């Protein structure tokens, strides 16, 4: 589980202790969801009662309440029904693993093969609306890459619009022990990015993580600015950015999915990070994200501390929602 160790496709062995720590983080972050809607779903499939139309209706209602979204809900219900009919399953408890398998499949359909040899510096452009947790996530990524995998990391404070955004990223960079390139609030974001790339090349950094302003879909000029940044990155480093990471706040529910769709075209999103999983009882938002925007979820934000970040693993996530012992 959690085979990819950090965001640019590297596979490496982890100790059993490290794996257990991350799995426990995911389990703890999903406690509200497990005690809420998904606890209800577990109860629906915990009996040896015969499978009825009412069971499917109850499942559909619960999934929608859990922020799974209508389209993904119908996908899960219909595919689980098909499995039940194909195997002649009669009892609700026997259909439980079939439902879980279809849930895992929602995520696995979006998994990409890892890059064999990531370029250096590997450029990660982080996008998302204000309040989604971009700055904190960037700090967690920097902490992870520097202290767990001994990577040289540089941050770029490209969010020059929001008050105090630059200062916040600088503070988080200090906590994580990585340098942060900035030109202050109101500066040209593209100029910050240009300077950060020069610094990354000069210092032979492994990873450059770029923050951007929180761009709402209605603000066309800000979307244009994002496209401008991507163009400058590509000119300085052909092929970059190598990863465009969209940050979605789990507590925003279906609004988060709408926000995500607004970024797909302008940002060429490659991966998703879902933050604040510990703050919602509707963990189903992860299914909606994977199915509706068709991008793999790479990270889960599991708390407020710098170490509260886990690589996403579909089986671990689904097992945690159903309160099962993780292996």
Q: Which of 117, 76, 114, 123 is nearest to 98 (CA)?
A: 76
In this prediction, residue 299 carries a pLDDT of 94
- Binding residues, by number, are 128-135, 211-215, 275-278
Name residue, tokens 């497990």: 34
How far apart CA 243 and CA 256 sit, in angstroms, is 20
Long-range CB contacts for residues 225-234, cutoff 8 Å, separation at least 24: 225/189, 225/190, 226/127, 226/266, 226/267, 227/266, 228/190, 229/125, 229/158, 229/189, 229/190, 229/193, 230/125, 230/267, 230/268, 232/190, 232/193, 232/194, 233/123, 233/125, 233/193, 233/197
Residue 326 is predicted with a pLDDT of: 41
Q: What is the pLDDT of residue 219?
A: 60
List per-residue pLDDT tens for the chain, 327 residues long.
333 434 444 444 556 777 788 899 999 999 999 998 899 999 999 999 999 999 999 999 999 999 999 999 999 999 999 999 999 999 999 999 999 999 999 998 777 666 667 899 999 999 998 889 999 999 999 999 998 889 999 999 999 888 789 999 999 999 999 999 999 888 999 999 999 999 999 999 999 999 998 855 446 677 788 888 999 999 999 999 999 999 999 998 888 888 788 788 778 899 999 999 999 888 899 999 898 888 999 999 999 899 999 989 999 999 999 875 444
Binding site feature residues for GTP: 128-135, 211-215, 275-278
Q: What is the DSSP letter of 301?
A: E
CA 198: distance to chain centroid? 28
Q: What is the 3-state secondary structure (H, E, C) of 218-278?
A: CCHHHHHHHHHHHHHHHHHCCCCCCEEEEEEEHHHCHHHHHHHHHHHHHHCCCEEEEECHH
CA angle 230, 214, 233 (to 5 degrees): 15
| β-strand pairing of 271-275 with 297-301 | parallel
pLDDT for res 220: 64
Q: Which fold has domain 31-108?
A: 1.20.120
Helix axes 70-87, 92-108, angle to 10 degrees: 130
The DSSP code for 113 is P
CB 159 within 8 Å of CB 213:
yes
pLDDT confidence of residue 325? 44
Distance CA 297, CA 13 (A): 21
As a CATH number, domain 122-312 is: 3.40.50.300
User: What's the gap between Cα 195 and its chain centre?
Assistant: 28
Distance of CA 291 to the CA centre of its chain: 13
- Break the chain into its structural domains and give their ranges: 31-108, 122-312
**How big is the chain by its Cα radius of gyration, in Å?**
21
Provide the 8-state DSSP code for 80: H
Q: In what order do the strands lie in the sheet with 297-301?
A: 180-181, 153-156, 207-210, 122-127, 243-249, 271-275, 297-301, 309-311
DSSP per-residue codes, 45-68 = TSS-PBP-HHHHHHHHHHHHHTT-
Given a contact cutoff of 8 angstroms between Cβ atoms, the answer to whether 317 and 38 are in contact is no
């Amino acid at each position: 589980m959690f085979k990819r160790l950090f965001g640019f496709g590297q596979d490496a062995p982890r100790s059993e202790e490290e794996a257990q720590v991350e799995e426990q983080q995911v389990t703890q972050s999903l406690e509200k969801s497990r005690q809420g809607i998904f606890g209800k779903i577990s109860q629906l499939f915990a009996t040896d009662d015969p499978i009825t139309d009412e069971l499917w209706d109850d499942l559909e209602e619960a999934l929608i309440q859990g922020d799974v979204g209508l389209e993904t809900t119908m996908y899960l219900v219909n595919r689980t029904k098909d499995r039940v009919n194909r195997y002649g399953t009669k009892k609700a408890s026997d259909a439980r693993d079939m439902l879980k398998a279809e849930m895992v499949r929602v995520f696995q359909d979006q998994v990409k093969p890892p890059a064999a040899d990531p370029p250096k510096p590997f450029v990660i452009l982080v996008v998302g609306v204000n309040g989604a947790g971009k700055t904190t996530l960037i700090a967690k990524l920097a902490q992870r890459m520097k202290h767990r995998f001994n990577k040289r990391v540089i941050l770029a404070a490209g969010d020059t619009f929001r008050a105090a955004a630059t200062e916040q990223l600088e503070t988080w960079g200090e906590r994580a022990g990585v340098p942060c390139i900035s030109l202050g609030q109101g500066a040209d974001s593209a100029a910050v990015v240009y300077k950060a790339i020069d610094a990354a090349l000069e210092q032979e950094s492994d990873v450059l993580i770029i923050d951007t302003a929180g761009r709402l879909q209605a603000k066309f000029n800000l979307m244009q600015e994002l496209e401008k940044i991507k163009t400058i990155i590509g000119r300085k480093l052909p092929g970059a950015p190598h990863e465009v990471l969209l940050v979605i706040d789990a507590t925003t529910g279906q609004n988060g999915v709408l926000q995500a769709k607004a970024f797909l075209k302008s940002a060429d999103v490659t991966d998703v990070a879902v933050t604040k999983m510990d703050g919602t009882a509707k963990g189903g938002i992860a299914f909606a994200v994977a199915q509706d925007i068709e991008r793999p979820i790479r990270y889960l934000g599991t708390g407020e501390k710098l170490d509260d970040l886990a690589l996403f693993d579909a089986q671990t996530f689904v097992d945690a929602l159903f309160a099962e012992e993780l292996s």
